[in-house]
Amino acid sequence: MLEVTNLRFAWPNGQTVLEDVSFTATSGVPLALLGPNGTGKTTLLRCLLGLERPQAGRVIVAGHDLAALSRTEAARLVAYVPQASTTAFAFRVADIVLMGRTPHLGFMAAPTPADRRAADDAMTRLGIADLAQRAFDELSGGERQLVLVARALAQGAKLLVLDEPCASLDLARQMRILAVLRDLATAGYAILLTTHLPDHAFLLGGTAALLKDGRLLGPAAPTELLTSPTLEALYGTPIEVVSLTEGRARGQVLCVPVMPSR
Amino acid sequence: MNNILSSPRLLLGASALGVLGLFLLSFLVGPYPIPPATVARIFLAQISLAERHWSEAMEMVVLDVRFPRIAGALLVGAALACAGAAYQNLFRNPLVSPGVLGVSSGAGFGAALGILLGLPGAAIQGMAFALGLVAVALTVWLGRSFDRHATLVLVVAGLVVSAFFQALVSLTKIVADPLNQLPSITFWLLGGLARTTPATLLGALVPIAAAGIVLHALRWQVHALAAGEDEARALGVDVRRVRIILIVAATLMTAAATSLCGIVGWVGLLIPHIVRMLVGPGFAIVLPMSALLGGGFLLGMDNLARMAGTVEVPLGILTSLIGAPFFALVLARTRRQWF
C-alpha cells in the first residue's frame, strides 16, 4: 500500500532530517512509528502526505508516485489525522466530517446526498453518529480525535496517517482509539501512526519502526524490535521490557522505564 | 426545536423574502412622497405599454434616483459582507474584514489619488482595486514576517497598513483643489450612495458579480480551508492557488464596492459574525447568507440616511454608529477564545 524508498529530507538551512529512509506499510498491519521528540517523525509524515517535498527518494501509494499526483488525487489515496486542536470557527461535527469529501467534489458542485451519506457512514462506523450536531470544540479530546478519524474515513483514502492520535488522552480514550485503529486495519486500511508509548505498538499487534537521527530502524514485529537495549539507545534512559505472566493481560508485553538513581 | 432558526435553508429563504420586501418598501422612502401604487405602476410600465398617469418627475425619482441607489446599497452591502466572510475564512481569523486588513484604506487612497489626478471613473475604480490589493498584500506580508499563526498579529499589521494609507489620503486632501476635488474626495471618504447612477452601478456590478461567482465556485474548498493550511492540503485543496484567487476576488469586490460608494465600514466585520451565529460557520451557507444580510443591512442604513432629515447623514458614519456597538454586542454573545 505504501512504499517509501531512499527518502532524504533536509531543511533549506542544510539541516538533514531524514536520511535514506525506506520502508513499506501494508494493508491490515498497523505500523507504529516511535522516536524521541524532534527526530523527524512529523516531517516523515508530512513527506508521506505530500505536504513536504523530499530532496531524494520516492513515496509510492497504491502504485502511484506521490510526487506526480495532484493534491486532489493524493487526497483520495492518503488521509491525514492531525492531533485534535480547536478550530477558528464553531463548527459542528457534521461540518468537519463533510470536509473529508472535498477531494470528491466536482468543480462548483456542492456535496451530493452520496457525499453526505459517506460522511454519515464514517461517523456511524466509529460510533459517533450521535455527536453529528454537536459543536466540535465542546467535545472531549478523545471524541475530537474520533471525529478527525471519521473525516479521514469519509475521504475514502485507504492509507491513514495519524500524528500522535493518543496524545493527551486518558487511558480509556487511548484504548478506544487503538481499538478503532486495530479494527480499521482488520477491515483493510493501511495505518501509520506516531506515538511516544512503545506499549501502543505492542497493543496494536502490527509492526513498529524507530526513527532516530534521521535514520529508520524496522519496521519489524514489536517484540523483535522493541527490546530493552534498543529502546535504551533510542531514548537514552534505562528501560525494561517485560512480559506479563498472569492476569487478564497475560502474554502482554510492556515497556517499563526505570527511575534513574539519585 | 423545530422552528425556522433550526434550518439554515429555511432561514436563507426567509432572509431572501425579507430583503425583497425591504427592497420594495425602500422605494417609498425619501423626501419626495410617491404612493406605493404609483411606484408599482411605474415599474409595470417599464415592461408593458400601460398608460402613464404620473408626472415625469415621479418616474425620474423612482427609476433614475431611487432605483440605482437602492440597488447600489444592496450590491455594496452584499459585496462587503461576502468579502469579509471570505477574508475571515481564508485567514481563519474572525477578527479581520476589508476594513481591518487595510483594503478599504488602500482602495480609499487609490480612489482619492484617482480623483486628484482627474482620472475618469473606470480608472478611479482600477486605482482603488490596485491599491486595495497592495494594501492587503502588505498586511499579509507584515503579519507573516512577525508570526504567521497569531490571530492578533494580522489585525495589528492591518492597523499599521490602514494608518499608513489613511495618512496618504490626508496628504491627498491637503494637495487637492479645495473647490473641485476636495469636496468629492471628502464625500467619497465618508461613504454614501447619493451619487449612484445606472452607469456607476453597472460598473461595480460586473466585477462584484464576477468575484461573487468565483467565491461561490470555491465555497467548499474555502470550507475545508477553515481546518488550517496543512489539513486543507491533505484534504485535497490546492491551498496556494485557492488563497490567491480568494484574495483577488475578495479585494476586487471590496474595491468595486468602495469605488461605488466610498468607505463604508463595519459591514464586512459585523455581518459575517451575525451570519455565523444564525447558520453556523460553513462557508457554503455563510456566503449567500452574508450577501443577503449585508445587502439588507446596508439598504436599511441607507434608508435611514435618506429619512434622517434635510441634511443627509453620510452612510459610512451611520454604519459605524450602529455597527460598532452592535459588533461589541455580538462579541459579548459569542464569547470565543480568539487570541
Q: Is residue B153 part of a domain?
A: yes
A225 part of a folded domain = no
Q: Which residue of chain B comes nearest to A52, CA vs CA? A: B230
Q: A81-90 burial, b for 16+ CB within 10 Å, e for fewer?
A: bbbbeebbbb
Query: From A71, which residue of chain B is nearest by alpha-carbon distance?
Result: B236
Tell me the C-alpha to C-alpha distance, in Å, between residue B180 and each of B91, B115, B184, B186, B187: 40, 10, 7, 11, 12
CB A169 within 8 A of CB A120: no
Residue matched to cell numbers 466585477? B207
Whole-angstrom CA distances from A181 to A78, A165, A203, B316 are: 15, 10, 11, 56
Residue A158 domain-assigned (yes or no): yes
CA distance A19 to chain B (A): 23
A12 pLDDT above the threshold of 50: yes
Tell me, what's the pLDDT at B40? Answer: 85
**pLDDT at B1 (0 to 100):** 40
Judge whether A49 and A192 are in contact, CB under 8 Å. no
Please judge whether B235 and A87 are an interchain contact, meaning their C-beta atoms are less than 8 angstroms apart.
Answer: no
Contact B236 A92 (CB under 8 A): no
**Distant-in-sequence, close-in-space partners of B316: CB < 8 Å, separation ≥ 6:** B189, B190, B191, B192, B262, B263, B264, B265
Q: Which residues of A fall within a CB distance of 8 Å from B337?
A: 86
**Confidence band for B148, pLDDT divided at 50, 70 and 90:** low
B220 vs B193, which has greater pLDDT? B220
Residues of A in contact with B226 (CB under 8 A): 87-89, 91
A241 inside domain: no
- Among the listed residues B177, B138, B169, B167, the one whose alpha carbon sits nearest the alpha carbon of residue B154: B138
Would you call A114 an interface residue with chain B, using a CB distance cutoff of 8 Å?
Answer: no
**pLDDT tens figures, B42-97:** 888 887 776 777 888 888 888 888 999 999 999 999 999 999 999 998 888 788 88
Task: Kindly report, residue by residue over A69-120, the tens digit of the pLDDT.
Answer: 999 999 999 999 998 777 778 899 999 999 999 999 987 888 999 999 999 9
Best mutation target, B92, B216, B220, B239, to test chain A (most A CBs within 10 A):
B220
Q: Is residue A262 part of a domain?
A: no
**Domain total in chain A:** 1
**Looking at the complex, does the CB of residue A116 fall below 8 Å from at least one CB of chain B?**
no
With pLDDT > 70 as the criterion, what percentage of chain A qualifies? 100
C-beta atoms of B217 and A108 within 8 A: yes
For residue A203, pLDDT over 50 is answered with: yes
Nearest to B235 among A86, A91, A103 (CB): A103
Is B91 contained in some domain? Answer: yes
**Whether A87 and B227 lie within 8 Å, measured CB to CB:** yes
Q: Nearest by CB to B224, which of A74, A102, A109?
A: A102
Chain A partners of B227 at a C-beta cutoff of 8 Å?
A: 87, 96, 99
pLDDT in tens, B232-268: 999 999 988 898 899 889 988 998 898 888 888 889 9
Which residues of chain A are within 8 Å of residue B241 when distances are taken between CB atoms? none
Of B94, B219, B224, the CB nearest to A99: B224
Q: Spell out which residues of chain B touch residue A105, defining contact as CB-CB under 8 Å.
A: 220
**Distance (Å) from the alpha carbon of B269 to chain A's nearest alpha carbon:** 14
Helix, strand or coil, per DSSP, at residue A115: helix
Contact B220 A111 (CB under 8 A): yes
Question: Which residues lie closer than 8 Å to A246 by C-beta, 6 or more apart?
Answer: none
Residue B12 lies in a domain: yes
Number of CB pairs, chain A paired with chain B, less than 8 A apart: 82
Whether residue A256 lies within 8 A of chain B, CB to CB, comes out as no
Torsion from C-alpha of A133, A139, A145, A148, nearest 10 degrees = 30
Domain presence at residue B339: no
Q: How many CB atoms lie within 10 A of CB A243?
A: 12
Would you tell me how many other CB atoms lie within 10 Å of the CB of residue B248?
A: 15
Domain count, chain B: 1
Report the CATH number at residue A40.
3.40.50.300
* The pLDDT of residue B337: 47
Which residues does B contribute to its contact with A (CB < 8 Å)?
89, 92-94, 151, 216-217, 219-221, 223-224, 226-227, 230-231, 233-238, 276, 280-282, 284, 334, 336-337
% residues pLDDT > 70 (chain B): 94
Question: Taking residues A17-39, what's their average pLDDT?
Answer: 91
Is residue A100 included in any domain, yes or no?
Answer: yes
Full domain range(s) for residue A207: 2-220
Range of the domain at B56: 4-334
C-alpha cell at B242: 485557492
The answer to whether residue A36 sits within a structural domain is yes
Q: Cα angle at A183 between A178 and A187, to 5 degrees?
A: 145
CA distance B301 to chain A (A): 28
Residue A235 lies in a domain: no
The owner of cell 463604508 is: B264
Quote the minimal CA–CA distance from A241 to chain B in Å. Answer: 36
Residues in A closer than 8 angstroms to B221, CB to CB, are 102
Q: What is the ipTM of this complex?
A: 0.90
Q: What is the CATH number of the domain that holds B37?
A: 1.10.3470.10
Beta strands in chain B (DSSP E): none
Please calculate the CA angle A225-A172-A226 and round it to the nearest 5 degrees.
5
CA pair distance B249, B252, nearest whole angstrom: 5
Flag whether A183 is in a domain. yes
pLDDT of B9-36, one tens digit each?
A: 899 999 999 999 999 999 988 878 888 8
Q: Does A108 sit within 8 Å of B236, measured CB to CB?
A: no
For chain B, the average pLDDT equals 87
- Min Cα separation B337/chain A (Å): 9
Q: Is residue B48 part of a domain?
A: yes
Which chain B positions have a beta carbon within 8 Å of A103's beta carbon?
235-236
Which residue of chain B has the CA closest to A74? B236
* Residue B208: strand, helix, or coil: helix
